[in-house]
């Protein structure tokens, strides 16, 4: 018995699309050593759960809502090298001796949402670390140098004035 197909069936509305569910589970734009596209390979991460802190009575005492995502930074071939160095610098407090970067979250009461929060954090941190370092322009450097010079001149001027005031208070020998 052939399946019922009306004029609004999906193969008529979208003739170019494949109507069966995904057969290809590889991502369209995976992250590589050249560029971080925002895609994180989930099998390279290690997700563990533990109990959260804070108020909540029996529920917080018994449910594992805190999520820790571990990833080994140096062996991550999906993050560019320069980004890795910058991450090492920025998040040195979260990276342990073995080189594992630990990202934790106990933002919500639900474990699933805390996992999502960890993923969001990783993505944001890597994106931030991928951005080029701020190098001030020549005009800015010149402005800073001039400001410092003027400040020094002012400071010495004030010093001279103060000195005159103080010496005028001393008795004339």
Which of 127, 124, 115 minimizes the C-alpha distance to 45?
Answer: 115
Q: How far is the CB of 124 from other proteins (least distance, A)?
A: 13
By CB under 8 A, residue 13 contacts other proteins: yes
CA angle 46, 50, 51 (to 5 degrees): 160
By CB under 8 A, residue 102 contacts other proteins: no
Q: How far is the CB of 16 from other proteins (least distance, A)?
A: 8
Q: Select from 46, 120, 128, 142 the one that contacts other proteins (CB under 8 A).
A: 120
Give the total of residues touching other proteins (CB under 8 A).
Answer: 38
Token pair listed for 136: 């001030």
Q: Select from 71, 76, 95, 119 the one that contacts other proteins (CB under 8 A).
A: 119
Measure the CA–CA gap between 80 and 66, rounded to whole angstroms: 29
Q: Is the dihedral of CA 6, 9, 13, 14 positive or negative?
A: negative
Which of 126, 124, 118, 123 minimizes the C-alpha distance to 69?
Answer: 118
Residue 102: strand pairing partners: 70
Within 30-89, which residues bind other proteins (CB under 8 A)?
A: 38-40, 42-43, 45, 47, 69
Nearer to other proteins, 110 or 144 (CB): 110
Q: Where does this chain touch other proteins (CB under 8 A) — which range of 14-22, 93-101, 131-139, 156-164?
A: 14-22
By CB under 8 A, residue 137 contacts other proteins: no
Token pair listed for 52: 């959260």
By CB under 8 A, residue 144 contacts other proteins: no
CA angle 9, 14, 18 (to 5 degrees): 95
By CB under 8 A, residue 7 contacts other proteins: yes
Which of 158, 155, 89, 98 minimizes the C-alpha distance to 125?
Answer: 89
Residues lying near other proteins in the complex (CB under 8 A): 3-10, 13-14, 16-23, 25, 27-28, 38-40, 42-43, 45, 47, 69, 110-113, 115-116, 118-120
């Amino acid at each position: 018995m052939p399946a019922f197909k009306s004029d609004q069936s999906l193969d008529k509305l979208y003739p170019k699309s494949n109507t069966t569910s995904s057969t290809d589970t590889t991502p369209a734009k995976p992250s590589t050593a050249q560029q971080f596209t925002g895609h994180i390979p989930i099998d390279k991460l290690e997700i563990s759960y533990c109990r959260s802190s804070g108020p909540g009575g029996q529920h917080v005492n018994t449910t594992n809502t805190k999520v820790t995502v571990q990833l080994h930074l140096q062996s991550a071939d999906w993050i560019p090298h320069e980004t890795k160095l910058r991450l090492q610098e920025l998040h040195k407090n979260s990276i342990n001796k073995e080189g594992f970067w630990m990202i934790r979250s106990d933002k919500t009461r639900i474990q699933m949402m805390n996992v999502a929060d960890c993923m969001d954090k990783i993505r944001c941190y890597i994106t931030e670390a991928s951005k080029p370092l701020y190098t001030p322009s020549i005009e800015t450097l010149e402005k800073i140098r001039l400001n410092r010079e003027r400040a020094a001149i002012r400071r010495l001027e004030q010093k001279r004035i103060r000195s005159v005031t103080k010496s005028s208070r001393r008795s004339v020998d």
